Amino acid sequence: AGSSAACLLLRWLTGGLATPVHALAAGVGPAQGVVAEAVFTFSLLFVIYATILDPSPRKVLPGAGPLLTGLLVGANSVAGAVLSGASMNPARSFGP
């Protein structure tokens, strides 16, 4: 309920101004955007699996999963913001 209220407040404050944050940059084609998002998503899922979800007793850096995941999300956001908005989740880009 709080996030919905915040969205409505933001819409009211901006006069309904829509700011598309997940758009391709100038000079970036659709295929390049899809490949970039696929690389970002793969790297994120790989790090999550290798550091948090791996069922083997020999995990890579045990206990560091949340930190590494957060660092990768930050790195992906910085690297991908100029290309495609770095959504790393197609539902965010295709949703309303």
Q: Tens of pLDDT along 17-73?
A: 766 666 787 888 888 888 888 898 899 999 988 888 877 777 667 788 899 999 999
Number of domains in the chain: 1
Q: What is the pLDDT of residue 72?
A: 93
Evaluate whether residue 15 is within a structural domain: no
Evaluate whether residue 12 is within a structural domain: no
Question: Which residue range(s) make up the domain with 66?
Answer: 21-94
Evaluate whether residue 43 is within a structural domain: yes
Evaluate whether residue 90 is within a structural domain: yes
Residue 74 pLDDT > 60: yes
> Which own/partner pairs from 71-77 qualify as long-range (CB within 8 Å, at least 24 positions apart)?
72/43, 72/44, 72/47, 73/44, 76/40, 76/43, 76/44
User: The pTM is what?
Assistant: 0.67
Find how far residue 37's CA is from the centre of its chain.
9
Evaluate whether residue 1 is within a structural domain: no
